[in-house]
Amino acid sequence: MTTSHILLRVSSTKPGQLDISPSREMSSTPILIDTISNSSSLSRSNHEEKTEPGGMHSVRPVLDEDDDLTIRPGRKPPPKIPKHNVITNTITSYLSKSDSREEVVSVTINISPEVSFTLHKPLRNRLSLEVNACEAIQDLMDAHEFFKIIKNPQTENYKDVLPFLITRRKKFFKKRLWVVRATLKAMNGEWGTLGTSPSIHEEFSSFSGIACSRFGVLPPVDVLIKLSVEIQTCARVNIDVVSMERLVQIFDRMFEDCHLLLRSRTVAQAAPRSGAAAAKSAMERFLPLSGGVDYLIKFCRNTFPGPEVRYQWTDRGHFED
């Protein structure tokens, strides 16, 4: 039996297709391959055989994308969708003076005709021009200062924005600290009853390396207890007397501890309305003050090429009904 080798020539035809034809005459017809099919279908096709009349098998030739760089432009990854909830929650957290309804600044992201933010805060007293004017001016100044820091080329991460939060939103920040400390304090003595995994790798999954590097061979339940105690200690700091530099260091550690504690299976899968669920909720409301700011910094730099963030207020600048 004589075996003949057939060489295939690859040439581009229409966009999204490849023309694979034999280098010498064959009775078979050219095969067209759609290069935008998903990876699973490509994988199946790589091993696909077709049975022809007479029991002959012909292997369907398929090019892997690494074999020919010319097919890469047809497989561009989809653009990342901005995390709008992270952006709006972060801005609200930094511009709201407290959690009370009349002090919360709500945020809307406008997409058209160009990306911008709309900020809204209800007027406290629509019958008093003087009261409304004072509040409106303060809100305008705070928003201007906040976005100025966000767009400052010297701003690297949330630690550069914390001084604004601690000085301009002291009451709000103190409340967030108190809630985190109170919910974790209520968990003192309860961690051992939650069925924590005996394996650090199961309890912290992909974050087990961080947990091991910080806490060594401590059992997972002891790691949860230690994290809880450290967070409570940080949250008790008196921000009125400690230097700003030291406060940034303390809260940097507190944010790291909250991030790690939230990644534990015990907290992540906490039963609704349980003490662990309350602590989880408190920490999740606290974290936009760190990771949320880091995301906002990147988003604003990529979205607003100019020196300023585009935003506007509703019910500010005029005080009539």
Return d(Cα 216, Cα 265) in angstroms, integer: 18
pLDDT value at residue 208: 85
> Which stretches within 186-272 are classed as H helix?
200-204, 208-215, 220-235, 244-262, 265-268
What is the percent of the chain with per-residue pLDDT over 70, rounded to a whole number? 70
Return d(Cα 206, Cα 225) in angstroms, integer: 20
Residue that the structure tokens 């100044």 belong to: 141
Q: Write out pLDDT tens, residues 91-143.
A: 998 998 877 788 889 999 999 889 999 999 887 665 555 667 788 888 899 99
DSSP structure class, residue 49:
E
Strand partners, 196: none
Dihedral, 250, 152, 142, 240 alpha carbons, nearest 10: 20
- What the block records as the tokens of 87 is 């952006």
Q: Write out pLDDT tens, residues 134-192.
A: 888 888 999 999 999 999 999 999 999 999 999 888 888 899 999 999 999 999 999 98
Q: What is the pTM of this model?
A: 0.65
Give Cα separations from 81 to 77, 240, 271, 299 (angstroms): 12, 40, 31, 11
Are the C-beta atoms of 131 and 125 separated by less than 8 Å? yes
